[in-house]
Structure 1
Amino acid sequence: MEPYVLDPAGRDIQAEAAALRDAGPAARVVLPGGVEVWSVGDLDLLRRLLADPRVSKDARRHWPAMAGIGEDWPLYLWVAARNMFTAYGTEHRRLRTLVSKGFTARRTEALRPQVRQIAADLVDRLAAGPDVVDVRAGFAYPLPIEVICRLMGVPDDVRPELRRIVDSLFDTTTTPEEAIANQRLLYEILHGLVAAKRATPGDDLTSGLIAARDEGDAGLTEAELVDTLIVMIAAGHETTVNLLDQAITALLTHPDQLRLVTSGERGWSDVIEETLRWQAPVAHLPLRYAVEDLEVGGVTIRRGEAILAGYAAAGRDPAHHGETADRFDVTRPDKTHLSFGHGAHHCLGAPLARIEAEVALPALFDRFPDLALAVPAAELRPVPSFISNGHRTLPVRLR
């Protein structure tokens, strides 16, 4: 069977997910640049793989094809950055331990009042504006950006350009020239941030990482420091932006489900977990690598071959969720998903993302009880990515 060529623009992620499931638990796919990898979208199989110590995220050690990958590949930073996202074994534990200090349960929960104030300010701003707005740009996007920028100590004047560049990392339609230009500008911005924080430290995670680097106890290199900022800032907003976007879309296109929540029959946590299952904010996550030959769903993934985690496919896997897997249903008793990963690389920011959604969604729907889509759902267009699963715009009528 010929490998499946993924659409770089992600124009119908769920249709592709269904096609890949039909191809088997593990299927060969082609990424931009003609790079062939395995896609795994079987929920239970993928969960086992994500926790398997024979599966690495270190391309330099375990992906021979990395030798032929250049900086102009649109996914280059996804595999080449030196941070906890691309680390394996003891290196991963070392880097994750440094970052995890900023995401303890107590510190994360302490952010709830700030999130509540940010959400209140945003709905006030919406209320003061026109009746028809892009709620992704005016609410779903700025809320997590503000939270992560405060956590990281990113100055206001740096944020717009940083946001644009981070968005480009998820755009899998970029040209080789754009990819290189974006990477260089991103590093320029982040090296500037590190220099500024080194000169004037603050009470933020960037300053904490710099202190760990400069004091020398953590063995953190300057490259690891900057690349860690990339993963924290990028992962710190993209998943939550799409979670809010897709949750709002799901509720506005399923009024019966919205009534269950606004009546109190179901909670916002039901909405959040069902959205994470039904529309995984990250559809495909690159990449992992077989440390040795693996028998996966009746096929052999050879040592050194790459694996793409199919979170969108796993969320709607009928082998796990049955014949109603494609239905958005907040009453579903089993909302199992892998949208925040699993195993050693489970997302550190998952509790914070859930807090942001728990605060933001009721803030929006309580303030605008007649909220409705301003265009037919069929006219909503996805962001140009097979990684990020959200909409370019989400026009709504507030009243």
Structure 2
Amino acid sequence: MTQTPTTPPPESGAPGAGVPPPFPFPIRSALDPSPEYALLRADRPVSRVTLPSGDTAWIVTRFEDVRTVFHDARFSRQAATREGAPRLMPGVEADPDSIVSKDPPDHTRLRKLVAPAFTARRIAGMREGIQRTTDELLDAMEAGGREGDLVSGLSAPLPIITICDLLGVPRSDQDRFREWSDTMFRTSADALGEAIAAREALIGYLAAMVQGRRAAPTDDLLGVLIAARDEDDRLTERELVSFAGGLIVAGYETTANRLANSVLVLLRHPEQLRLLRGEPERIGDAVEELLRYIPGGAAGGLMRVATEDVELGGELIRAGEGVIAVTNAANRDPAQWDDPDRFDITRKPQSHTTFGHGIHHCVGAQLARLELQVGIATLLRRFPGLALGAPEDRLPWKKNVVIHSLEALPVTW
């Protein structure tokens, strides 16, 4: 449960209110949002903060306000990539060629090109392959005895295999993609150079893949995107490579961490775990509750920039100012959910903000849901005696990363 803090909430952006507090807030619990959010939702739902870059921005914490930021065209992702725009991290520039950095009409053009690869029918057709991969990974864990590491055994390899197979990346290279993705999410000042180098290595590899696919066309997703690029230039070369790189990073890192954290949450709540074991048909609702309940990244969202003055949550956001819609806070808003800090897989499914909202709703949301459903359901069915293999307070968490992630999750069965 989230503890209610007794310290005053951070200062707002009102004149004379003082220097905005530093953000992201300290991570006190990897499975609970920062307690500052509860105070902000109640008293200052739109509040100024100081970012690691030294820039200031607004953070938005109430569910309805977060959805407004997501769908209101006056809060621009594209403007956040321009020179002089507020930055979350020092030295890290937003990729202007990424689909998540585009506004209409460019975003509309890119979304139409990539959406057919993620239709409900196509994703459903991937179930068999995801199930096979999950079974193979659990077979290998089981062959190792009665204990193992769920991160290296299942939660990390399953999504990287899935997304790389989708793009046509050889399995012999998939460990390299995992390493690059892990490195790119480091946020400490001394690791910044490594993060930039990892991104350049990933982009360079994908650019070489594109050239190889032109010489020997394929019918995987990368081949389809290349065909769209070469047919009538609807997709620029940089957009193609950027989309493929973004898909690997987002499709691997977020799903891998969510899968490991989901298992830990279920083990934390044995009554909910018993319910899911006894009624496995609840797996869809359980995954939605896990997506709502578990915090995402430390910042909780991507930077947007107001293109004109906008009043939101009682504050006037000026044109050119940065805005971060914090999904971690929105997903625990008591105005949207009864007792939101309680984990309950029997909740009636409702909209959460984990996959965003509006035109930037995650294109791979259904694929992530499928991986989580298959991975969790198969794990619980195969290992009915699943239990933590170490005290929870001794579990190793990665430091200085954007996403809350376990380095390892020792389990027994």
Q: Give the TM-score normalised by the residue count of structure 2.
A: 0.88
Q: Give the match for residue 55 of structure 1.
A: 75
* Partner deviation per Cα, 1:175-219 (whole Å, 9 max, x = no partner): 33223322322222221222222222222111111111122241x
Does the aligned pair in 1 maintain the 2:285–2:345 contact within 8 Å? yes
* Partner deviation per Cα, 1:378-397 (whole Å, 9 max, x = no partner): 22343335631332221111
Match of 1:359 among 374, 387, 410: 374
* Partner deviation per Cα, 1:59-90 (whole Å, 9 max, x = no partner): 367x5633x869x94642xx224121100010
Aligned length: 391
Q: Give the match for residue 84 of structure 2.
A: 65
Does the aligned pair in 1 maintain the 2:45–2:62 contact within 8 Å? yes
Shift in Å at residue 9 of structure 1? Answer: 7.8
Partner Cα distance (1:347, 1:280) in 2: 16
Q: Secondary structure at the match of 2:132?
A: helix
Match of 1:125 among 117, 140, 150: 140
* Partner deviation per Cα, 1:77-122 (whole Å, 9 max, x = no partner): xx22412110001010011111112111211111011111111111
Q: Gapped runs of 5+ residues in structure 2? A: 1-10, 12-18
Q: For the structure 1 residues 106 and 332, does the alpha-carbon distance in structure 2 shift closer, same or farther, using more than 3 Å as the test?
A: closer
Matched, 1:297 2:340: no
Matched, 1:22 2:31: no
Matched, 1:146 2:165: no
Does the aligned pair in 2 maintain the 1:81–1:227 contact within 8 Å? no
Q: Secondary structure at the match of 1:4?
A: coil
Shift in Å at residue 267 of structure 1? Answer: 0.5
Q: For the structure 1 residues 130 and 114, does the alpha-carbon distance in structure 2 shift closer, same or farther, using more than 3 Å as the test?
A: same
Q: For the structure 1 residues 265 and 92, does the alpha-carbon distance in structure 2 shift closer, same or farther, using more than 3 Å as the test?
A: closer
Does the aligned pair in 2 maintain the 1:40–1:309 contact within 8 Å? yes
Partner Cα distance (2:32, 2:22) in 1: 13
Does the aligned pair in 1 maintain the 2:186–2:192 contact within 8 Å? no
Partner Cα distance (2:329, 2:400) in 1: 15
Partner Cα distance (1:74, 1:15) in 2: 29
1:231-246 equivalences in 2 (<5 Å):
231-246=246-261
Please tell me the root mean square deviation across aligned C-alpha atoms, in Å: 2.3
1:216-231 equivalences in 2 (<5 Å):
216-218=232-234, 220-231=235-246
Partner Cα distance (1:108, 1:94) in 2: 21
Deviates more, 1:353-362 or 1:380-389: 380-389
Letter in 2 for 1:6: F
Match of 2:394 among 379, 383, 387: 379
Does the aligned pair in 1 maintain the 2:301–2:325 contact within 8 Å? yes
Shift in Å at residue 281 of structure 1? Answer: 3.6
Partner Cα distance (1:182, 1:137) in 2: 21
Q: Give the match for residue 52 of structure 2.
A: 32
Q: For the structure 1 residues 60 and 38, does the alpha-carbon distance in structure 2 shift closer, same or farther, using more than 3 Å as the test?
A: closer
Q: For the structure 1 residues 340 and 308, does the alpha-carbon distance in structure 2 shift closer, same or farther, using more than 3 Å as the test?
A: same
Matched, 1:268 2:288: no
Q: Secondary structure at the match of 2:72?
A: coil
Does the aligned pair in 2 maintain the 1:266–1:330 contact within 8 Å? no
Q: Give the match for residue 5 of structure 1.
A: 22
Shift in Å at residue 357 of structure 1? Answer: 1.4
Higher RCO, 1 vs 2 (CA within 8 Å, ≥6 residues apart): 1
Matched, 1:193 2:212: no
Partner Cα distance (1:132, 1:8) in 2: 35
Partner Cα distance (1:224, 1:142) in 2: 27
1:281-360 equivalences in 2 (<5 Å):
281-283=296-298, 284-322=300-338, 324-333=339-348, 335-360=350-375
Q: Give the match for residue 213 of structure 1.
A: 229
Partner Cα distance (2:96, 2:239) in 1: 8
Letter in 2 for 1:252: L
Partner Cα distance (1:287, 1:208) in 2: 30
Q: Give the TM-score normalised by the residue count of structure 1.
A: 0.91
Q: For the structure 1 residues 299 and 145, does the alpha-carbon distance in structure 2 shift closer, same or farther, using more than 3 Å as the test?
A: same
Partner Cα distance (1:60, 1:12) in 2: 30
Looking at secondary structure, tell me which structure has more helix per residue: 1
* Partner deviation per Cα, 1:270-292 (whole Å, 9 max, x = no partner): 21011111103445122111111
